[in-house]
Amino acid sequence: MSGIAGDVSAGARKLGIANRRVLFGFFFLLALVPRLWVLQIALHQDRPVYRYQDSSGYLEAGESLSLGKGYRGREGRPLFWWPPGYPLFLAATFLIGIASPAHPGGALFFQILLASMVVGMSSLIALELGGPSSAWLAGSLMAIEPSSLAFAGTLLSETLFTFLLVLAVVTWVRWWKRPGWGQLVFFACLVGTLPLVRPMALYLWIPLALLIGFLGPVRPRRGWGAPLLFAVVALAPVTAWTIRNYAYLRVPVFAAVSQFNEALFARSVEDLAGVPRPAAATRQPWQEGYGRENRLSFAQVMKDRNEYFLRVMEGHPLLAAERGALTGLGILGVPDDRLPNLLLQEAPQSPERGVIGRLKWLAGLGGIGALLVFGMSVCIAGFLALPILALRCRSWERSRQALLALVAVLVLYHLLVGSTTMYQGDRFRVPIVPLLAVALACVLAGRAPRNGEALT
């Protein structure tokens, strides 16, 4: 009888694995179709709509890497503004010949594949957290989610960053199912790679190390060995890149863009406080190119921007909190024009400030506007779903509680860090949308997974 039971159990496991592969493959293909459609339209526009904000800088750095010149700009100077993760991705596509700086369509196609895999992985995470109904709903929501559709076809780092982030969540689930040092090290490597793609993840290792210490699958009797190993591995790429920058600049800076964003946020807080802008002839710390007129050293520019940020935060802490909260709400619920820019032949007017102005803008977009409203609804409702799941999770097994805690930590961390950046709310939304879609699906259709349905 025990042999028969073992055969049945093994058969159930195989069936569960097959079902998960079908689930992933179905949503991968379902997501691939609309993303390829958007890319096809974007590539045939009269203007290069697939380039946006930082795209030119990424292409320059990727070209330099692909030519073996190192991480440098066109003038041959070492780059410090962004970390090298996304330019390395572009350089790889240039080296294998599917794309070039002048014709980056092949790199965008690879991004489409990564974005479609994110949709498939989102369904697997929802399967683990809420069961089959949640998996089907989460995958369906993500298949047509407008931020994912738009940024998958844009030369920016969001798609690569989101892929690595969601893959880290899947790795966390697998670590819980098969506790071992190998899965932990791989999880730490993914977390350590994230800052190299977007510096916003620079301090993500701190809450995750604490989470591993309190809710990791390693037994408490082993102490804090697991979080310590995680921290060492996750910090290795950050440390190496900071040392590289210090060797050139004699300043231990990871990415110069971070200090610029902080200064820009501080100026926004001063605007909220009614502090008049100085009528100075030279650029100020919150402006690009600050220090060029006075020929300040890089170290002095970083020092001035950091001191300016700290001074404003100390002088206006409540207004800083208000400004951050408003920016966080904007990340979740303010429509952006990225998708309309990709799909429409003529660039649509940017949404006006204020609720009425934005509603008029959305109404003028027709079906695209309805899709943007759908995306904002997923974000806001998904965020509100997190406390509901927190109330429900008391009766869950520890692995599902830990997964929910991981999802909540990632969402809150990204909203907190993103709330200090004043001009890229649409981009900061992209990495957390899959997690918000999973949370929403689990509230609307979730139940405890049965045996054989959970992710292995």
Structure tokens at 75: 């003038």
> What per-residue string of b and e applies to 99-134 under the rule 16 or more CB within 10 Å gives b?
bbbeebbebbbbbbbbbbbbbbbbbbbbbbbbbbbb
130 and 318 Cβ atoms separated by less than 8 Å: no
Count CB atoms within 10 A of the CB of residue 447: 11
What would the mean pLDDT of 346-353 be, rounded to a whole number?
Answer: 72
Place of tokens 């790679």: 193
| Backbone CA torsion sign across 72, 73, 76, 78 | negative
Tens of pLDDT, residues 377-397: 999 999 999 999 999 888 889
Maximum distance among all Cα pairs of the chain, rounded to whole angstroms: 87
Rounded Cα distance between 216 and 372, Å, is 37
Nearest-Å Rg of the Cα atoms of the chain is 23
- Its pTM stands at 0.90
380-388: list long-range contacts, CB under 8 Å, 24+ apart.
Answer: 380/332, 380/333, 381/436, 381/440, 382/433, 382/435, 382/436, 382/437, 382/438, 382/439, 382/440, 383/332, 383/411, 383/436, 383/439, 385/436, 385/439, 385/440, 385/442, 385/443, 386/411, 386/439, 388/443
Give the 3-state secondary structure of residue 389: helix
Question: Higher-confidence residue: 451 or 357?
Answer: 357
Tens of pLDDT, residues 279-295: 766 788 888 888 777 78
Whether pLDDT at 5 is above 50: no
Rounded Cα distance between 162 and 243, Å, is 26
pLDDT at 326: 84
Tens of pLDDT, residues 212-224: 988 888 654 456 7
C-alpha separations of 324 from 258, 293, 311, 378 in Å: 16, 31, 16, 21
* Residue 394 DSSP label: G
C-alpha separations of 336 from 126, 137, 328, 361, 371 in Å: 27, 24, 14, 10, 11
pLDDT confidence band for 446 (50 / 70 / 90): low
Rounded Cα distance between 183 and 174, Å, is 7
Rounded Cα distance between 369 and 194, Å, is 32
- Helix extents (H) in 144-224: 146-152, 158-177, 181-197, 205-215
Structure tokens at 326: 């408003």
Rounded Cα distance between 101 and 88, Å, is 13
pLDDT confidence band for 2 (50 / 70 / 90): very low
Tens of pLDDT, residues 143-197: 999 999 999 999 999 999 999 999 999 999 999 988 888 899 999 999 999 999 9
Place of tokens 């990340």: 331
Rounded Cα distance between 4 and 347, Å, is 65
